[in-house]
Amino acid sequence: MARRKVRTTRYDSAALLKTPRDIVTYLEAAMEDGDPRVVAAAFGTIARAKGMSELALVRTE
């Protein structure tokens, strides 16, 4: 039996951060972890999702 090729796509969590509430929830989860590296990675993901200039303007609804 021949193997079928599996097609994969790159996962990007930044694509899931669409609303300010999504961003706040994501950041809260990162902060609960307690590891500063996780928080820094979360900020990087948020910056990719919204851009650095918009990052400073994020607030809850």
pLDDT in tens, 19-39: 989 999 999 999 999 899 999
Per-residue pLDDT at 1: 73
pLDDT in tens, 42-58: 999 999 998 877 666 65
pLDDT over 60 at 16, yes or no: yes
d(CA 1, CA 14): 39
Model confidence, pTM: 0.70
Residues 6+ apart with CB under 8 A from 23: 17, 46, 49, 50, 58
